[in-house]
Chain A
Amino acid sequence: MRYLLRRAGTSLVVILGVVTITFVVSRVVPSDPASLYAGPRARPAQVEQVRQDLKLDDPVLTQYVSYLGDLTRGDLGISFATRRPILGDLRSFLPATLELALLATALSMAIGIPLGVLASSRRGKPKDSVVRLFAVTSVSVPVFWSALILQLFFASKLGWLPLSGRTSSNVEFGEPTGFFVIDSILSGSPSNVWDVVRHLALPVTVMAAYPTGLTVRLIRGSMLEVLGEPYIEAARVGQIPERTILYQLALKNALAPALTILGLTFAYSVSSAFLVEAVFNWPGLGKYLTDAIVRVDFPVITAATLVITVIYVVVNLALDLVHAKIDPRVELS
């Protein structure tokens, strides 16, 4: 319990720090938000009016304090470029990115864990080398490059999968959750589900590449450590089948310290969202943020960064707590 409170406390401090950093960075951007908000060819007097309305002439510290005040009330501000409340925008963009990132995380675990176990069990053998080469390659290919190749091949050339977007333009269904896999299932039409899944295939694959490599490496490392322990030797002597040793005795113990990879994988998925969403025209948080950067729309830059980071911090906190729960040693350190 003390541990929980302490972790939650430091997380709060960290989030306050993140707010401060993003606030500072966004004020450095060389542009005039007032003229952006006032619109193209606005007269100087109108820009001045907007400057006053938005309180941009207040001292930076005052702006910072009022920004913090707004945040505690759950008000993320309005976009200067679109003049829309950011919170409303996030309702559709956040699930779009989370859907991608969660599926990419799941896919990378599904591939990465078995491969990591395989490599560790064949340490130094050709299979190990092949798996390691695969893992290293998957963290070495730029995602925007692999995305282009996959698009060219599976979408443009073969026509098997759609190029971009979350659904075909003639497919429509209610969006109660914003997670289209769930929404399409709720719509009750298998063709909707199929359309959504097909649109997810390429971006999820591309997004999963980097975290897969990471997972293989971490699982292999932590498996090798466990496999060297005496109880495994004992099990081997006891003629327990190798499969059982690997997947039940060793992996169970290797996974616990490797839990952090779940957070890391998720983080890498989310941050590659910038590149992946741009290439697949995926209406998510990454694209929302890159668009805002291009338009120098700093309330959006700050808000989107904040939301992504808070999610990341919360995921890590949750994983740490789970870790502490299943591994009492953590509490002591």
Chain B
Amino acid sequence: MAAPTPTPPTSPARRLLGLGPVTPGSAVWYYRRNWLGMVAACIVGAFVIAAIFAPWLTPYAEQGRGVPDLPQRLKGPNGSHWMGTDELGRDVLARVLFGARTALLVAIGVVVLAVVVGVLVGAIAGYFGGWVDEILMRITDTFLAFPPLLLAVIVAAALGASLQNTIVAIAVSWWPWYARQIRAQVLSLRERSYVKAVQAIGVPSHKIIRQHIIPNAMAPVWVQATADLGASILTAAGLSFVGLGPRPPTPDWGVMIADGRQFVLSGQWWIAVFAGAAITILALAFNLCGDVIRDVADPKTRGDQ
């Protein structure tokens, strides 16, 4: 006697993206029902918008990019500088807004680079098996043997401080996680009948991997990758803190905390506090999203909220 579930209306955004209505029981449907997840997603959205529109959101766009204004240095929050000014007189709000660009660039850059490398290695190892698998997986294990952050720190130290090097350094230490994950997926996919079928009609391996294996193995990797965005921001901030971050005057939250820390004791708390808050809030939002997505993707832990 249950009433028929009404079909939910499709939101304009979803229609724009060519997506159908959200069906009850789908992952998106579950995600939407988690208020924490929704709040987190909104926060991430706000940061993305802030990053994209940073030059139009502040009258101090030049300062956000790094141009100093010495006479205004170290002024507390006030009407014209809502978050105060930094040690070179730049508007802290503008630096935080432009810093969102750096943070998101690093987060996405690291994850994409690591996923690309990890997926390639993992797919090849899993598909071919045998000695190829053995060699690739021992290499993967070797990279995994380094405690997190340690490898990133020494690679960044060897490459020298810059934004690109930060991304490379963190990605170098992250790809093995994805490689392992995709390999496990591929190992089971390899035995599926449709793969056997295309193998039988003589489709070349690289085509099979590209067209049949990778697309079907990606779902858990994307879940993991989303969950890793927050960690990537924190790792980058850690590198900045030990002096291995992007070069000045690149706006960067980690550098802002490291530089701003020294003013806190003299009562000029605003640089470090606002930059620290930005990192914490964005990392928190990313981690919450990741947490909820992971739950949603795994039916066993799906929370009925």
Residues of A bordering B, CB below 8 Å:
10, 13-15, 17-18, 21-22, 25-26, 28-30, 123-124, 128-129, 132-133, 136-137, 139-145, 148, 152, 156, 217, 220-221, 224-225, 228, 267-268, 270-272, 274-275, 278, 289-290, 293-294, 301, 305, 308-309, 312-313
Proximity bits, B126-149, A CB within 8 Å = 1, else 0: 000000000000110111011111
User: What A residues does B155 contact at CB under 8 A?
Assistant: 25
User: What A residues does B279 contact at CB under 8 A?
Assistant: 142, 145
Assess whether B237 is in contact with A18, with CB atoms less than 8 Å apart.
Answer: no
B291 at the interface (CB under 8 A from A): yes
B283 at the interface (CB under 8 A from A): yes
Residue of B142, B241, B261 touching A18 (CB-CB under 8 A): B142
Q: Using A224-B300, A274-B153 as known contacts, say yes or no to A25 and B283 having CB atoms under 8 A apart.
A: no
Assess whether B142 is in contact with A17, with CB atoms less than 8 Å apart.
Answer: yes
CA distance A148 to B276 in the complex (A): 11
Residue of A133, A145, A278 touching B276 (CB-CB under 8 A): A145
Q: Using A142-B241, A301-B154, A305-B150 as known contacts, say yes or no to A136 and B287 having CB atoms under 8 A apart.
A: yes
User: What B residues does A271 contact at CB under 8 A?
Assistant: 147-150
User: What B residues does A224 contact at CB under 8 A?
Assistant: 300-301
Assess whether A30 is in contact with B160, with CB atoms less than 8 Å apart.
Answer: yes
B158 at the interface (CB under 8 A from A): yes
Residue of A123, A140, A278, A305 touching B287 (CB-CB under 8 A): A140
Assess whether B150 is in contact with A293, with CB atoms less than 8 Å apart.
Answer: no
Q: What's the least CB distance linking B238 to chain A, in Å?
A: 6
Q: What's the least CB distance linking A275 to chain B, in Å?
A: 6
Assess whether A142 is in contact with B234, with CB atoms less than 8 Å apart.
Answer: yes
User: What B residues does A293 contact at CB under 8 A?
Assistant: 153-154, 157, 242
How many residue-residue contacts, CB under 8 A, span A and B? 140
User: What A residues does B257 contact at CB under 8 A?
Assistant: 142, 144-145
Q: Using A25-B154, A139-B287, A290-B242 as known contacts, say yes or no to A305 and B146 having CB atoms under 8 A apart.
A: yes
B230 at the interface (CB under 8 A from A): yes
CB nearest to A210 among chain B residues: B234
Assess whether A274 is in contact with B149, with CB atoms less than 8 Å apart.
Answer: yes
Residue of A13, A132, A272 touching B291 (CB-CB under 8 A): A132
Assess whether A275 is in contact with B241, with CB atoms less than 8 Å apart.
Answer: yes
Main secondary structure of the interface of A (DSSP, over half): helix
Q: What's the least CB distance linking B258 to chain A, in Å?
A: 8
Assess whether B303 is in contact with A124, with CB atoms less than 8 Å apart.
Answer: yes
B304 at the interface (CB under 8 A from A): yes
Assess whether B145 is in contact with A144, with CB atoms less than 8 Å apart.
Answer: no
B264 at the interface (CB under 8 A from A): yes
CA distance A312 to B146 in the complex (A): 8
12 contacts between A and B (CB under 8 A): A18-B142, A21-B142, A21-B146, A132-B36, A136-B291, A139-B231, A140-B284, A144-B241, A145-B272, A148-B264, A221-B298, A305-B150
B205 at the interface (CB under 8 A from A): no
Assess whether A272 is in contact with B141, with CB atoms less than 8 Å apart.
Answer: no
Residue of B160, B231, B304 touching A124 (CB-CB under 8 A): B304
B10 at the interface (CB under 8 A from A): no
B89 at the interface (CB under 8 A from A): no
Assess whether B243 is in contact with A294, with CB atoms less than 8 Å apart.
Answer: yes
CA distance A220 to B298 in the complex (A): 13
CA distance A251 to B265 in the complex (A): 46
Q: What's the least CB distance linking A218 to chain B, in Å?
A: 11
Assess whether A133 is in contact with B36, with CB atoms less than 8 Å apart.
Answer: yes
Assess whether B303 is in contact with A123, with CB atoms less than 8 Å apart.
Answer: yes
Nearest 10 CB-CB pairings of A with B: A17-B142, A140-B284, A271-B147, A140-B283, A271-B149, A28-B158, A293-B157, A145-B276, A267-B147, A124-B305
